[in-house]
């Protein structure tokens, strides 16, 4: 990787600067939502449906109201009087805020109690009596689309079945032609199970509406505070200047904190009606059973290949389980997000993708759990398919990939589904990872082990992601273009404040974004305060998710810093009595070309900006930039996993995990590696243990951390990280997003490794999570 | 996660604790480590009216050998068992597998035994090693063999006002070994399947005492008596252990659930019994 151009004390791009935010978080001085304690705060608790599908014949809240300390019991009928019983979703559907007619999933919001303390609020929930009339629950999308299935969305005008959407893309005719020319067709049917982002901090809100001024200060766990302000204005009809969203320290988001949840709306309405602050913080169970889940894609992929292992085309049929409301948090005109990036890292001319989604009696959501809008599912499918194709053609899975990779000279490369990949060198990445893991030796060891009855498997995934949503011509949320912003103000003493439209949830923005400014202006990163999350004090932006902060907000930061560099050069020229065009800036020192001893520092220039300016120049050193990215960025990586499977129990253990990532220029290599380790851990979790499932009555299995498993350091394999660095040609500093690469890329590597251990028996699929009983059954069935 | 209202009594002596329990009646619960009870209260599946905290009672925190037994007091935490050099065989093998480090620091061995969760680890280990539970009630102290104590899922034969004050586990006098093989999905998870094995050898190397018990595969921790009977008097061998493993698999009636299918769980019982007995025999032979 390229060496840093600034010295360590400035800490520009390429320095592993310690995270500024860590000290306060580690020492207990963070300020999370539940730490916010306003005078006279009331507490809200939500009554949730125990049933997956039932008609509500009545709600009796008299006994709850009679309890000392209870101020209000809010029902759907009350919300309906204010036009707030339903709210729009981010995918153009509507979602119940509090159920008025039916409950459509277990855990759905039915009523809310507002009380003087959270214990009383919870006591009161037990006193509310709801008269439910059972309806048949539908728990799979296949069942949902059957003829005669009970209609889940009977309230929706024109809805006569349980179909949520259909969507197709690609060239059907060209794809059929490719399949006609193929020597063989490799098919894989697999389910990417429902999972949940499960941030350690659950979602919550403190809504503080001033009944006199109408000012609504809303503290909430929001990955997108500005977008939420506008949506609040649009949905609740509040004047936008009176809405201030403050997103405090956030204990992890992973997509879970992108949507607006019913609890936010009820708490805000309650504060408005009662005139006191209302706090609501979800329990762990509430978070897992009702807020945005991820995945739940049933996918059938077919790959047309030649006997030489050339891929000619790809056909995908996908059925998604949307739950009761279609509320995918996704900003594209494409109904299945960026799922059509499913052509992966390979050069072939034809693809056709056919998608539909079904309503079921399960929680809605469809958030991108550490993923750029359904790319995880896509990446998983193509990498599983290519691996299986190698087995069918009879060539090594690494060789299969090398034969089909998009070549470095083909970039920018337009895929069969219309993405324009910006840059990459896939063969070098894969070969580097193969060398590191000792691939050929491993294949020999695998053969020897098999002869002894031991099962070793080597799994590869080479993923390409599409992150940094997104160019305004293609991307919006509720019409809002997916731009982001940075406002930079340099104070007279040469220190600076940088204000962002994006919002960290642990990604390290307070450090890395300061480094971008340090790189450009040479102000030490430690001297740059980064502010974000408060809509009154930061410029507009669409927020942090889908690995978009660095591609969009990071670009805005570089651009605004360059604007100030230009002005600074003029001030330096004035101070040095030189021509503007002769001024050179390096690591915070402005010097005259050819006379390096004639120089001033950025600190000198900052003071001059407020004290001593060239004729006609406006005072101050500050600016703001709104950045509309010209394209997405396309990080990629080669992951290789080695496992040993116990043939007697199906238990598998990871022996090695080599992960090479190329995310272009790394602003802070340490933080990038931290992100990759976190993502690999989550990818491992999904492949090995993590899923939310339901019984036939629609009861959620996975409603707490006893059943929904989050791996600890004990289970997590050791990761060996590698890097290459092919910059993004269109990003101002050559960076690409990386926060989600490892979650996207790694599940296929883990699963491919287990499959590879038993592939010689004829096993071609084990659905995630690859639980030991599934492995044992697959071995048993095959042998 | 807010529990319903309860009263708290902090007992200073065993007698005070028992008296408080008599006063509280059915709504009273003893609180030691609280690692099962408190989460149940927070989830509102347990609603004790009175909690009787026994953590301040002196003299209940010892784990030591005495009169040929390992004695474990009611306030001995799982972490104390892990750290103790008085343990042996299956006890020592199981301790680090109980829950996770945080729960082990707080949760007590006696509390786990009294809870009688069929997915709990200790009762299988105690069934395999032949332990006794010491209970203290209004009428004084009595000893109950673990096989009589464990009565069903979350039920024991403990009297309503009795407090478990300790455990007595016989320490083998000759060569012995033990194992606790646990398949769990992650650290801190309950067992999907676990097998406790305990073997004592006579001077000729034959098995003089055998203990075998299963966790999580029946509604109660299960002592596999027919396998134990089969093992006693035999020389350890792979064939013998395979035969015992078949009996263990037959004694398991697991259910299909998110942890796995019944058929697979039975296969794990078979495998872990073979491996556990072999490990126990190896340890005994080397002792």
For B236-249, the pLDDT digits (tens) are: 999 999 999 999 99
pLDDT of residue A596: 87
Residues B165 and B187 in one domain: no
pLDDT of residue A236: 82
pLDDT of residue A155: 97
When pLDDT is cut at 50, 70 and 90, the band that residue A1 belongs to is confident
* Assessment of whether the complete model's pTM goes beyond 0.90: yes
For A53-67, the pLDDT digits (tens) are: 999 999 999 999 999
Question: Which chain B positions have a beta carbon within 8 Å of A681's beta carbon?
Answer: none
CATH number at residue B139: 3.30.465.10
A331, pLDDT greater than 80 = no
Span B135-149, mean pLDDT? 97
Residue B267 lies in a domain: yes
Contact B260 A773 (CB under 8 A): yes
Residues B193 and B226 in one domain: yes
Q: Per-residue DSSP letters for B239-285? A: HHHHHHHHHHHHH-----BTTB-HHHHHHHHHHHHHHHHHHHHHHHH
Whether A700 sits among the annotated catalytic residues: the reply is: no
pLDDT of residue B1: 82
How remote is the C-alpha of A774 from its chain's centroid?
29
Rounded-to-integer distance, Cα B130 and Cα B244, Å: 19
In CATH, the number for domain A294-362+371-469+631-782 is: 3.30.365.10
| Cross-strand pairs, A499 | A487, A531
When pLDDT is cut at 50, 70 and 90, the band that residue A483 belongs to is very high
Tell me whether the CATH fold assigned to A22-29+484-627 matches the one assigned to A33-135+203-281: no
Of the candidates B2, B188, B261, the beta carbon closest to that of A773 is on: B261
Q: Determine the topology of domain A22-29+484-627 in CATH.
A: Aldehyde Oxidoreductase; domain 4 (3.30.365)
pLDDT of residue A486: 98
pLDDT of residue A485: 98
When pLDDT is cut at 50, 70 and 90, the band that residue B70 belongs to is very high
Residues B70 and B129 in one domain: yes
When pLDDT is cut at 50, 70 and 90, the band that residue A728 belongs to is very high
Span B179-194, mean pLDDT? 96
Whether A184 sits among the annotated catalytic residues: the reply is: no
| CATH superfamily membership of A33-135+203-281 | Aldehyde oxidase/xanthine dehydrogenase, a/b hammerhead (3.90.1170.50)
Question: Which two tokens mark A385?
Answer: 């398919």
pLDDT of residue A220: 97
pLDDT of residue A474: 87
Question: Which chain A positions have a beta carbon within 8 Å of B185's beta carbon?
Answer: 689, 709
Whether A370 sits among the annotated catalytic residues: the reply is: yes
Residue in this structure with the two tokens 């600016």, named with its chain if needed: A623
- Reduced to 3 states (helix: H, G, I; strand: E, B; else coil), residue A433 is helix
Helix, strand, coil percent content, chain B, rounded in steps of 5:
35, 30, 35
Domain boundaries, chain A: 22-29+484-627, 33-135+203-281, 294-362+371-469+631-782
Question: Which chain B positions have a beta carbon within 8 Å of A284's beta carbon?
Answer: 1
When pLDDT is cut at 50, 70 and 90, the band that residue A332 belongs to is confident
Question: Which two tokens mark A716?
Answer: 């997590």
Residue B176 lies in a domain: no
- A interface with B, Cβ–Cβ below 8 Å: 118-119, 121-123, 126, 283-285, 648-651, 689, 693, 701-702, 704, 706-707, 709-712, 714-715, 771-773, 776-777
For A679-694, the pLDDT digits (tens) are: 999 999 999 999 999 9
For A465-481, the pLDDT digits (tens) are: 999 998 998 888 888 99
For residue A111, which of A65, A161, A180 has the smallest C-alpha distance?
A65
pLDDT of residue A478: 83
Q: Is B281 in contact with B220 (CB distance < 8 Å)?
A: no
For A247-259, the pLDDT digits (tens) are: 999 999 999 999 9
Residues B166 and B67 in one domain: yes
Residues B197 and B148 in one domain: no
Residue after which a domain boundary falls, among B170, B192, B219: B170
For A360-405, the pLDDT digits (tens) are: 999 998 888 999 899 999 999 999 999 999 999 999 999 999 999 9
A475 vs B191 pLDDT, higher one: B191
For residue B17, which of B161, B144, B150, B147 has the smallest C-alpha distance?
B161
When pLDDT is cut at 50, 70 and 90, the band that residue A330 belongs to is confident
Q: What are the φ and ψ backbone dihedral angles of A766, each rounded to 5 degrees?
A: -135, 125
Question: Counting beta carbons within 10 angstroms of the beta carbon of residue A497, is it exposed (0 to 12), middle (13 to 18) or buried (19 or more)?
Answer: middle
Span A548-569, mean pLDDT? 98
For A567-626, the pLDDT digits (tens) are: 999 999 999 999 999 999 999 999 999 998 999 999 999 999 999 999 999 999 999 999
Residues B210 and B189 in one domain: yes
A301, pLDDT greater than 90 = yes
Of the candidates A126, A689, A704, the beta carbon closest to that of B186 is on: A689
Share of chain A above pLDDT 70, in %: 100
Q: Tell me which residue range forms the domain holding B23.
A: 7-53
Residue after which a domain boundary falls, among B104, B138, B170: B170
Rounded-to-integer distance, Cα B271 and Cα B253, Å: 16
For A123-147, the pLDDT digits (tens) are: 999 999 999 999 999 999 999 999 9
For residue A538, which of A231, A225, A78, A328 has the smallest C-alpha distance?
A225
A321, pLDDT greater than 80 = yes
Rounded-to-integer distance, Cα A262 and Cα A75, Å: 12
What mean pLDDT, rounded, does chain B reach?
97
Residue B252 lies in a domain: yes
């Amino acid at each position: 990787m390229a060496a840093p151009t600034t010295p360590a004390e400035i800490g520009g791009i390429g320095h592993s600067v310690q995270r500024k935010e860590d000290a306060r978080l580690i020492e207990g001085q963070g300020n999370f939502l539940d730490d916010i304690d306003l005078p006279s705060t009331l507490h809200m608790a939500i009554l949730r449906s125990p049933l997956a599908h039932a008609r509500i014949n009545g709600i009796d809240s008299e006994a709850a109201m009679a309890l000392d300390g209870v101020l209000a019991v809010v029902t759907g009928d009350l919300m309906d009087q204010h036009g707030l019983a339903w709210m729009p979703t981010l995918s153009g559907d509507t979602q119940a805020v509090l159920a008025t007619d039916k409950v459509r999933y277990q855990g759905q919001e039915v009523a809310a109690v507002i009380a003087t303390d959270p214990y009383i609020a919870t006591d009161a929930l037990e006193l509310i009596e709801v008269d439910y009339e059972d309806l048949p629950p539908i728990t799979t999308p296949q069942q949902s689309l059957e003829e005669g299935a009970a209609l889940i969305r009977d309230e929706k005008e024109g809805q006569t079945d349980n179909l949520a959407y259909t969507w197709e893309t690609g060239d059907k005719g060209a794809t059929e032609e490719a399949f006609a020319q193929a020597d063989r067709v490799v098919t894989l049917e697999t389910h990417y199970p429902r999972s949940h982002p499960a941030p350690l901090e659950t979602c919550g809100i403190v809504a503080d509406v001033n009944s006199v001024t109408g000012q609504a200060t809303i503290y909430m766990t929001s990955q997108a505070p500005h977008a939420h302000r506008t949506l609040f204005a649009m949905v609740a009809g509040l004047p936008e200047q009176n809405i201030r969203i403050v997103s405090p320290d956030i204990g992890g988001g992973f997509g879970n904190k992108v949507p607006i949840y019913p609890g936010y709306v009820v708490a805000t309405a309650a504060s408005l009606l009662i005139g006191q602050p209302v706090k609501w913080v979800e329990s762990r169970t509430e978070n897992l059973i009702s807020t945005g889940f991820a995945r739940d894609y049933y996918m059938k992929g077919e790959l047309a290949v030649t006997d030489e292992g050339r891929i000619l085309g790809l056909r995908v049929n996908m059925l998604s389980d949307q739950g009761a409301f279609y509320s995918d948090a996704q900003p594209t005109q494409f109904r299945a997000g960026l799922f059509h990036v499913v052509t992966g890292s390979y050069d072939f001319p034809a693809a056709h993708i056919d998608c539909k989604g079904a309503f079921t009696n399960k929680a809605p959501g469809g958030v991108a759990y550490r993923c750029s809008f359904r790319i995880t599912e896509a990446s998983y499918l193509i990498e599983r398919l290519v691996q299986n194709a190698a087995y069918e053609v009879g060539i090594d899975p690494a060789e299969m990939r090398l034969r089909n990779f998009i070549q470095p000279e083909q970039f920018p490369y337009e895929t069969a589904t219309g993405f324009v990949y910006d840059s990459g060198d896939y063969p070098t990445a894969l070969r580097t990872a193969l060398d590191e893991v000792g691939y050929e030796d491993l294949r020999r060891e695998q053969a020897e082990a098999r002869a002894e009855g031991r099962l070793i498997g080597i799994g590869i995934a080479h993923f390409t992601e599409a992150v940094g949503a997104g160019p305004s011509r293609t991307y919006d949320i509720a019409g809002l273009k997916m731009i982001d912003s940075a406002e930079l103000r340099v104070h007279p003493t040469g220190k600076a404040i940088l204000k962002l439209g994006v919002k960290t949830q642990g990604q390290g923005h307070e450090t890395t974004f300061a480094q971008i400014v340090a790189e450009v202006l040479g102000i030490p990163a430690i001297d740059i305060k980064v502010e974000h999350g408060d809509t009154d004090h930061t410029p507009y932006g669409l927020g942090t998710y889908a690995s978009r902060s660095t591609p969009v907000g990071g670009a805005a930061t570089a651009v605004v810093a360059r604007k100030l560099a230009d002005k600074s050069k003029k001030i330096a020229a004035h101070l040095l009595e030189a021509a503007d065009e002769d001024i050179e800036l390096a690591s915070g020192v402005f010097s005259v070309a050819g006379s390096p001893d004639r120089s001033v520092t950025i600190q000198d220039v900052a003071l001059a900006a407020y004290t001593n300016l060239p004729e006609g120049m406006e005072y101050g050193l500050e600016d703001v930039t709104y950045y509309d990215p010209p394209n997405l960025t396309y990080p990629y990586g080669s992951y290789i996993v080695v496992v040993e499977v116990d043939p007697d129990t199906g238990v598998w253990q990871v022996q090695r995990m080599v992960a090479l990532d190329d995310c272009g220029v790394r602003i802070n290599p340490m933080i990038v590696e931290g992100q990759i380790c976190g993502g690999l851990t989550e990818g491992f979790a999904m492949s090995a243990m993590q899923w939310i499932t339901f019984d036939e009555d629609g009861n959620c299995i996975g409603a707490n951390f006893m059943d929904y498993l989050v791996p600890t350091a004990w289970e997590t394999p050791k990761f060996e990280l590698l890097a290459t660095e092919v910059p993004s040609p269109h990003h101002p500093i050559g960076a690409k997003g990386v926060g989600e690469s490892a979650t996207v890329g790694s599940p296929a590597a883990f699963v491919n490794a287990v499959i590879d251990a038993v592939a010689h028996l004829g096993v071609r699929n084990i659905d995630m999570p690859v639980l030991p009983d599934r492995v044992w059954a697959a071995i048993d069935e095959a042998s | 996660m807010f529990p319903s209202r309860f009263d708290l009594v902090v007992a200073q002596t065993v007698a005070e604790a028992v008296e408080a329990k008599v006063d509280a009646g059915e709504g009273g619960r003893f609180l030691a480590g609280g690692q099962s009870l408190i989460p149940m209260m927070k989830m509102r599946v347990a609603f004790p009216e009175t909690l009787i905290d026994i953590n301040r009672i002196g003299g209940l925190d010892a784990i030591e050998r005495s009169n040929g037994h390992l004695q474990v007091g009611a306030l001995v935490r799982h972490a104390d068992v892990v750290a103790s050099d008085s343990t042996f065989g299956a006890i020592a093998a199981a301790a680090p597998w109980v829950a996770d480090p945080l729960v082990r620091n707080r949760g007590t061995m006696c509390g786990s035994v009294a809870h009688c969760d069929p997915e709990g680890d200790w009762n299988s280990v105690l069934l395999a090693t032949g332990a006794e539970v010491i209970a203290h009630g209004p009428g004084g102290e009595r000893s109950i063999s673990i096989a009589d104590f464990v009565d069903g899922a979350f039920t024991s034969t403990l009297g309503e006002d009795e407090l478990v004050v300790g455990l007595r586990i016989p320490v083998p006098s000759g060569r012995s070994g033990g194992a606790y093989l646990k398949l769990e999905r992650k650290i801190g998870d309950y067992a999907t399947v676990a097998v406790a094995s305990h073997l004592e050898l006579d001077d000729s190397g034959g098995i003089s005492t055998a203990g075998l018990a299963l966790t999580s595969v029946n509604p109660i921790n299960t002592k596999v008596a027919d396998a134990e009977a089969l093992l006693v008097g035999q020389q350890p061998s792979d064939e013998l252990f395979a035969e015992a493993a078949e009996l263990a698999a037959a004694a398991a009636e697991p259910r299909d659930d998110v942890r796995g299918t019944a058929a697979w769980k039975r296969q794990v019982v078979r495998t872990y019994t073979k491996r556990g007995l072999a490990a126990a025999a190896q340890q005994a032979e080397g002792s």
